[in-house]
Structure 1
Amino acid sequence: MPPADVPDDVLTTPFTDYLLRNAGEDRPAFTCRTFPGPADHTLTWPEVVARVRGVARELRHRTRPGDRVAIVARQDLGYVVAFLGVLYAGRVAVPLPVPIGRTGRARVESAFADATPSVCLTSKDLLDKVPPAVVLAVEDIEPDDAEPPAAVAMTDPAYLQYTSGSTRRPAGAVISHRALVAGCWQTTQCYGADASTPLVGWVPFFHDMGLVLLVGTPVFLGSRSVFCTPVEFVRDPLRWIRLLAEHPGAVTAAPNFAFDLAAEAAGELEDLDLSRVNSLLNGSEPVRAGTVENFERAFAPFGLPRAAHKPCYGLAEATVFVTSAGAEGPTVRVFEDGEPRVSVGRPYGQRIRIVGNEIQVAGPNLADGYWGRDDVIAPDGWLATGDLGFVHDGQLYVTGRLKDLIIVDGRNHHPQDIEATVEAAHPAIRRAAAFGVRDGRGEGVAVVAGCTAPGEAAETAVRRAVSAAHDLPLRALWLVRPGEVPRTSSGKVSRAAARERWWGENERHG
């Protein structure tokens, strides 16, 4: 069995101490791969520390301890330096996305209104695109060889992790220095990572999975991070796979949809060796049995061990990590409801329990609360996650979100089960969002699905599949263009946004 507790020496060592331990290691620390090319842009550990000290120096001239500093920058080396510089200065980082499009702008503006940052660190070409604040371009900040780190308490806030907003308005979870090091320890211990382990990926830095795995964990271990941008992954999902082959022993992470995209593109892959991949963490959204099977089938010919695929579960309020599959790899079981379910493994360094079907978590990796609110996230030491699940043979299975649960005629239906049925009903169907609705006939279910060939054949197939698998008639079905089904910033289906856009419009216009 894994150890139950994070060691005291970890929980009492400030995160910046780990950074300074790496200062004398003249070897690659962070590498950003850009395209076309490809081209690698790398900072060694001494270069990282010097640039971080420069950022800290500038922030101390303009802010006071406890001030929030927003980071709205490209996913490149500047983002890494900005985040670490804020922590080194003893300020509170607010990692955010580039405000692209109406949704992106609204997300950033909402976070600014909530966190009220004193300064915004950004990329040079974005200076005129961020909300009003004192704005500094990270590229223009000169390195520093002497700036000391701020003295911080382990309970002080390190950063605000804004939630993805799949069921509500985004809120800033307050992640302390203690929670950050605890989360890094839990991740590295679960996957047997050390200073020789490359951390590889593309998940955005403003998302908890990308921030902890690709920025926090390399500092904690003194290892190397190699990353590209989410856009470059979407343009060619095999860029992610090639990075794994180039860096034997790598640990990486991505949402379930990324595994689907990579498997679909695998036919274009030339010979490469994936036999030494350590772990591919599959989390952030429901892990589907079909995805596990398709991914294994696609990449087994290249030597990828099935056990390297690690379904996992986490959330922003737990500094991303809660449970994960271990050396056994994915476990898929069919239970009484007939649905194949994928285990998300066991906790490592924290505890879980099920109360009224809801998953609850306790451990040193928990956030302290939400910024600007008086309520405590875990007043009794246990975080009520809002996720539904159960434990079988010591492993956790997540069945859905409490707020998303659909109740029709007294029966509970999990939307992701209905979505899986919809997506398998016809080859033209892509991403789907299922949600509960109410009209004159009472409670029902509606679905919005991306479809490459909308028409009677696809619609009939979907309605028949849902009726047969779930004994549910669909109250409404919209087949839209692929890509139109709303997502959160982390790539999850946003059922609340889908309901508001389609069913809300239906209600407004009768």
Structure 2
Amino acid sequence: MRGFSSLAEVLQHQAVQRPDIAAVTVYSDRPGERPSLTFATLHAQAACLAEQLAAQTAPGDRALLIFPSCLEFVVAYFACLMAGVVAVPMMPPRRNANHDASAAIMADCTPRLALSLAADPDPRGTLRERLAERGIRHVPVSLASEPTVAPGPLRGTTELAFLQYTSGSTSTPKGVMVSHRNLLDNLEMMRKRLGNHTDSAHVSWIPLYHDLGLIMNLLQPIYLGAPCVLMTPSGFMHRPLNWLRAIHEHGAEVAAAPNFAYDLCVDRFRQEQMEGVDLSGWKIALNGAEPVRAATLARFAATFEPYGFDARAMRPAYGLAEATLLVSAADRGAEARIREISASGLKAARVAPPEHPGDISRIASCGSAMAGLSLAIVDPETRRRLPPGQIGEIWLQAGSVACGYWGRPAESEASFRARIETDSEPPAEQEDNWLRTGDLGHLDADGELYVAGRLKDVMIVRGVNHYPQDIEATVATSHPALRRDHAAAFAITDDVGNEQIIVVQEVERTQRHSLAEAEVASAVQAAVVNNHDIALHKIMLIRPGTLPKTTSGKIQRSLTRQRWLDGELEPWSSADQLADQPADSH
């Protein structure tokens, strides 16, 4: 999009050019209810609310947006943009303040206002209590019956568009400062790379306080002038195939989700629920927000090919909040690249051909860097570039890289203004202003990015690197009683300084009455030894729904580790000494 300085101006443009097109449609949890707003009505509703916000705030004040997936969230978000208020999307607080990030976010960004639904979504008063304790004014939001169309006080591109709080998968959530220019640059990158256009309808169930849900699945279609359909996360989790039905019903070209969602669709597949569904119009099945597994791509394509799904639509991608959202992906229509590499080489942080059939690890490419974005693989200790074939930290430069972390100058300097060391003289010629992502990966000779995991999560046992997501995947498939994507592997240090690997794993709900714990422990240990040449020190089975995860579904390994050390995890049964196995003897 050319000539716009903010997304609020983009919405104003769409309201004039495409006034009667349904911008946003919401699937309510109530059957048959699908309220929607056209571009013209969305703009009018947002402008009306913006006038109210401008009267209660100064430019730059923060406002919490505490909504489910609903039209009111979209109106409130654009009203903030119009009023020069910094929006802070946030999930509703949970009853137990120690187990969610809401208190930390409120303390960090010191908001002036909190916007939420006028209809009371908080029967226990949890939200009102939190806001009153911190002196935050509550603004209930409802759709105006006859909104007046006003341009609203649009602000310039140098001001922040919103704060996107990180998931907190490895640390306390931090507020990423996303400017209007960051946002517009990344939306344009996505448009060019994915080939999206005004007819590219999007269907999403991802919460709008998550960057993939907000930017990819809501703001991208609004940027394009395309329709967007929002479903509730709970609706997807209970009936994942309804997501695919909605893609069919709305002729959606684009739908994005984390890797686990595609696995869940396969696990819950029922032929009768897919009757009449045609997925041939689905062109971009973006897979991101967590490690992309080659096995998942193959399982999903094989399961849904009879319903028109084209494997070339599967689009593994890499992104993070600090870069606004998307960093890399393949072009529309390109087949996802899968490489077979040495599993033993991967443990040594290098990429090499397999030495024998039992040494094969299949990894999926997340595509090449978006246009206008530079990627580098850097040794995190020496800060020097690594050659192709070596695993290091992913660093990047782009106009979409955010301004830093809210109120954290030291951390912003370290993460957003890093320098790559070179041998050139004078030192001023060093490459500066790179974003350190904290993620591990490598680039192949064609510039394709392969993500290996989080730098902080890597476990080193006897000098060998072990990636938790690989061990977790092995554990989940070792026995049918275990839930896929619901395990956390981490390392502890014993009294003499040796690293020992622990796995905490949820049990499938359907298996809770017939679980043979010794059998499960034996299957898990055998699978891990066979696939990773290491024995687990301990396996703890826990009840479904109790593994610490972020709001976007990422496993919080560091928090799980701390709760395990503190004895706060509740085992599946009193026989919590499920597998106190001896340390690896290899």
TM-score tier, shorter chain, comes to: over 0.9
What's the counterpart of residue 57 of structure 2? 63
Q: Does 1:407 align with 2:410?
A: no
Amino acid at match of 1:369: G
Closer, same or farther in 2 for the Cα pair 1:301/1:28, shift >3 Å? same
What's the counterpart of residue 368 of structure 2? 346
| Structure-1 separation of matches of 2:556 and 2:468 | 11
How far 1:394 sits from its partner (Å)? 2.1
How far 1:506 sits from its partner (Å)? 8.5
| Structure-1 separation of matches of 2:24 and 2:10 | 15
How far 1:135 sits from its partner (Å)? 1.0
| Structure-2 separation of matches of 1:138 and 1:29 | 19
How far 1:248 sits from its partner (Å)? 2.2
Please say if residues 94 and 126 of structure 2, whose CA atoms lie closer than 8 Å, have aligned partners that are also in contact: no
Q: Does 1:439 align with 2:461?
A: no
Amino acid at match of 1:61: A
Please say if residues 191 and 278 of structure 1, whose CA atoms lie closer than 8 Å, have aligned partners that are also in contact: no
| Structure-2 separation of matches of 1:503 and 1:424 | 26
| Structure-1 separation of matches of 2:30 and 2:140 | 24
Closer, same or farther in 2 for the Cα pair 1:92/1:105, shift >3 Å? farther
| Structure-1 separation of matches of 2:479 and 2:59 | 56
Q: Does 1:381 align with 2:396?
A: no
Choose the corresponding residue for 1:34, options 28, 34, 37: 28
What's the counterpart of residue 506 of structure 2? 450
How far 1:39 sits from its partner (Å)? 2.3
Q: Which runs of 4+ in 1 moved over 6 A?
A: none
Q: Does 1:301 align with 2:306?
A: yes
What's the counterpart of residue 490 of structure 1? 552
Choose the corresponding residue for 2:473, options 395, 416, 420: 420
Matches within 5 A, 1:159-238: 159-238=162-241
Q: After superposition, give the CA deviation of every residue in 1:106-129 in whole Å (9 maximum; x if it has no partner).
A: 411211111111111101213644
Closer, same or farther in 2 for the Cα pair 1:34/1:13, shift >3 Å? same
How far 1:38 sits from its partner (Å)? 3.0
Closer, same or farther in 2 for the Cα pair 1:269/1:217, shift >3 Å? same
How far 1:483 sits from its partner (Å)? 2.4
SS across alignment from 2:106? helix
Amino acid at match of 2:298: E
How far 1:311 sits from its partner (Å)? 0.7
Q: Does 1:501 align with 2:563?
A: yes
TM superposition score normalised by structure 2: 0.82
Please say if residues 98 and 104 of structure 1, whose CA atoms lie closer than 8 Å, have aligned partners that are also in contact: no
Q: Does 1:153 align with 2:206?
A: no
Q: After superposition, give the CA deviation of every residue in 1:161-183 in whole Å (9 maximum; x if it has no partner).
A: 00110000001000000011111
Matches within 5 A, 1:259-408: 259-267=262-270, 268-326=273-331, 327-337=333-343, 338-349=360-371, 350-356=373-379, 357-374=392-409, 375-376=412-413, 377-379=415-417, 380-392=432-444, 393-408=446-461
Amino acid at match of 2:90: L
How far 1:303 sits from its partner (Å)? 0.7
Closer, same or farther in 2 for the Cα pair 1:167/1:103, shift >3 Å? farther
| Structure-2 separation of matches of 1:90 and 1:219 | 19
Q: After superposition, give the CA deviation of every residue in 1:185-205 in whole Å (9 maximum; x if it has no partner).
A: 112222111111101111010
How far 1:317 sits from its partner (Å)? 0.6
SS across alignment from 1:152? coil
Q: After superposition, give the CA deviation of every residue in 1:229-256 in whole Å (9 maximum; x if it has no partner).
A: 1011111001110111112242111111
| Structure-1 separation of matches of 2:230 and 2:113 | 26
SS across alignment from 2:265? helix
SS across alignment from 2:255? strand
SS across alignment from 1:18? helix
SS across alignment from 2:27? strand
How far 1:150 sits from its partner (Å)? 2.8
| Structure-2 separation of matches of 1:269 and 1:78 | 31
Q: After superposition, give the CA deviation of every residue in 1:419-466 in whole Å (9 maximum; x if it has no partner).
A: 111112112221211111111251111101112335111101111111
**Which segments of 5 or more consecutive residues in structure 2 lack a partner in the other structure?**
344-359, 380-391, 418-431, 509-514, 570-576, 578-586
Closer, same or farther in 2 for the Cα pair 1:140/1:289, shift >3 Å? closer
SS across alignment from 2:219? helix
Closer, same or farther in 2 for the Cα pair 1:274/1:104, shift >3 Å? farther
TM superposition score normalised by structure 1: 0.94
Q: RMSD of aligned C-alpha atoms?
A: 2.0
SS across alignment from 2:197? coil
| Structure-1 separation of matches of 2:207 and 2:78 | 16
SS across alignment from 2:457? coil
Please say if residues 377 and 393 of structure 2, whose CA atoms lie closer than 8 Å, have aligned partners that are also in contact: yes
What's the counterpart of residue 4 of structure 1? none
| Structure-1 separation of matches of 2:403 and 2:109 | 15
Please say if residues 53 and 143 of structure 1, whose CA atoms lie closer than 8 Å, have aligned partners that are also in contact: no
SS across alignment from 1:491? coil
Identity over aligned residues, as a percent? 37
SS across alignment from 2:222? helix
Please say if residues 166 and 496 of structure 1, whose CA atoms lie closer than 8 Å, have aligned partners that are also in contact: yes
Please say if residues 82 and 121 of structure 1, whose CA atoms lie closer than 8 Å, have aligned partners that are also in contact: yes
Q: After superposition, give the CA deviation of every residue in 1:117-157 in whole Å (9 maximum; x if it has no partner).
A: 11111012136442322111110656643433334232211
Closer, same or farther in 2 for the Cα pair 1:143/1:404, shift >3 Å? farther
Amino acid at match of 2:288: G
Amino acid at match of 1:114: D
SS across alignment from 2:187? helix
SS across alignment from 1:137? strand
SS across alignment from 2:214? helix
| Structure-1 separation of matches of 2:64 and 2:542 | 36
Please say if residues 54 and 142 of structure 1, whose CA atoms lie closer than 8 Å, have aligned partners that are also in contact: no
Please say if residues 311 and 335 of structure 2, whose CA atoms lie closer than 8 Å, have aligned partners that are also in contact: yes
| Structure-2 separation of matches of 1:289 and 1:192 | 24
| Structure-2 separation of matches of 1:311 and 1:62 | 43
Amino acid at match of 2:487: A
**Structure exhibiting the larger radius of gyration computed from Cα positions:** 2
Closer, same or farther in 2 for the Cα pair 1:444/1:308, shift >3 Å? same
How far 1:219 sits from its partner (Å)? 2.2
Please say if residues 55 and 143 of structure 1, whose CA atoms lie closer than 8 Å, have aligned partners that are also in contact: no
How far 1:333 sits from its partner (Å)? 1.5
| Structure-2 separation of matches of 1:417 and 1:435 | 12
SS across alignment from 1:427? coil
Query: Does 149-158 or 252-261 show the bigger shift?
Result: 149-158
SS across alignment from 1:114? helix
Choose the corresponding residue for 2:75, options 52, 58, 81: 81
What's the counterpart of residue 3 of structure 1? none
